[in-house]
Structure 1
Amino acid sequence: MSSGQEGALEKGRLRPPGLALLLAEARGLLELNASLLLSPLLMRAPRGDGHPVLALPGFLASDLSMAPMRRYLSELGYETHAWRMGRNLGGLGRMRDALRARLAEIHAASGRKVSLVGWSLGGVYARDLSLWAPDMVRYVITLGSPFANDVRATNATRLYEALSGERVEDFAEAREAIAGDLPVPTTSIYSRADGVVNWRTCLLRPSDRAENIEVHLASHLGLGVNPAALWAVADRLAQPEGEFSPFDRAGPFAIAYAPPEQAISA
């Protein structure tokens, strides 16, 4: 780390990922292809118990981006749901009512708690939903979601503010709560090679029901289709309701995970 970066961190300010990492985001297509090639291994993941899972797309993405994950989880036995709100143009305050209504709809129809899987901004929404209705939420999994530390440290901040009509600093009290401990079990999956968000913005405070999982070399745009990330999502969702145990990094994708001691708050 350079002296300039150290100074920035000491002041509580983080920098967005550099240009090299941003340009390397094109490798996300390779991650999707890898998942297709490794599908026989992915299907060895623990089977689901049929509980509902709501998949929330990232900024500028739509349900199409979450289709591979929904298909995978459906094949493992989960009842998967799209968010059905078109393209995600951002806005924590603007989207809250619709997101809450969607969660309540799924919960009422299934009669079971709903697990939330959110990619990037979708993960921020997922954490907010769990704070609003912990009695409806079973588990929260975020993938490359910038909810902690200096959340301005992304390469999408200006575009987000322009399209959503919100500043990142808006809803400060809500964002502080989103960055804190959740009332339900949660896992944050991230990559230090993320070219869109500074990986430190994805770190939660580990506890007896909260953990970070680092996937080596994953891109931001490919994290939701990365085979190691998909395996981790399936493994976490398969835990019995109300129970939590740390992620076991053994298995067919063991080489892709950083040791747990590296996944610490920054």
Structure 2
Amino acid sequence: MERSLVKKSETSLSTAIESIEGIFFDKDMKPFEVPLWMETLVGIDWTLLHISPLYYGWGVPQGDGSPVILVPGFLANDFYLYDMYFWLRRIGYTPYLSNIGWNADCLNVLVNKLAETVSKAHE
């Protein structure tokens, strides 16, 4: 029963994504050619992510509990990594946020903060 429900939702999702991609996205378009107004479609991306079976860990190989440290990109913080954090936890890993604050500090400070997180993950 659960398997057929997943298959049916994957088919419906695939159909929905294909119809949306056909309207809004041209696969041959280079990043610098994408019009700025397409940034307003972030809600569609967010919705498609959250209705995907993969987001809930269905059909994804389960992790073995290994620690994973999530480090934000330059000038970012841990906030935008929460979706990935919870997804990794759902599929069986032990994720850790970096706790470095904004990734714009001196390298020595960032390394010290990250070393604390690494030692916490190593325990």
Bin the TM-score by the shorter chain.
0.5 to 0.7
Q: Deviations over 1:23-46 (max 9, x none)?
A: 3555444332211011x2442110
Please point out which of 35, 44, 51 is paired with 1:37: 51
- Paired position in structure 2 for 1:76: 91
Q: Is the 8 A contact 2:78 2:97 kept in 1?
A: yes
| 1:50 corresponds to 2:65 | yes
Confirm or deny: 8 A CA contact 2:76 2:103 kept in the other structure: yes
**3-state SS of 2:69 partner:** strand
Structure 1 length as normaliser, TM-score?
0.30
Deviations 1:194-238 (A, max 9, x none): xxxxxxxxxxxxxxxxxxxxxxxxxxxxxxxxxxxxxxxxxxxxx
Question: Residue 82 of structure 2: which of 64, 67, 79 is its match?
Answer: 67
Within a 5 Å distance, the mapping from 1:49-198 to structure 2 comes to: 49-107=64-122, 109=123
Q: Secondary structure at the match of 2:120?
A: helix
Residue 73 of structure 1 deviates from its aligned partner by: 0.9
Gaps of 5+ in 2: 1-30
| Alpha-carbon distance between aligned partners in 2 of 1:26 and 1:91, rounded to the nearest angstrom | 34
2:78–2:98 CA contact under 8 A, matched in 1 = yes
- For residues 40 and 105 of structure 2, the distance between their equivalents in structure 1, rounded to whole angstroms, comes to 23
- Percent identical pairs in the alignment equals 29
CA contact (8 A) 1:54 1:80 kept: yes
* Deviation string, structure 1 residues 124-174 (Cα, Å, up to 9, x no partner): xxxxxxxxxxxxxxxxxxxxxxxxxxxxxxxxxxxxxxxxxxxxxxxxxxx
Q: What residue in structure 1 maps to residue 25 of structure 2?
A: none
Contact 2:63 2:91 in 1 (8 A): yes
Query: Offset at 1:106?
Result: 1.4
Answer whether contact 2:67 2:96 (CA < 8 A) is retained: yes
C-alpha change, 1:28 and 1:93, in structure 2 (3 Å) is: farther
Question: Structure 1's 64 and 47: CA in aligned 2 closer, same or farther, altered over 3 A?
Answer: same
Structure 1's consecutive aligned runs of 4 or more residues displaced over 6 angstroms after TM superposition are: none
- Over 3 Å counting, the alpha-carbon distance change for 1:94 and 1:85 in structure 2 is closer
Instruction: Evaluate the alpha carbon distance shift between residue 67 and residue 100 of structure 1 in structure 2; reply closer, same or farther with a 3 A threshold.
Output: same
RMSD: 2.6
| Residue aligned with 2:61, SS | coil
Q: Per residue, is there more helix in 1 or in 2?
A: 2
**Cα 1:60–1:47 shift into 2, 3 Å:** same
Q: Distance in 1 between matches of 2:44 and 2:75?
A: 21
Closer, same or farther in 2 for the Cα pair 1:45/1:60, shift >3 Å?
Answer: same
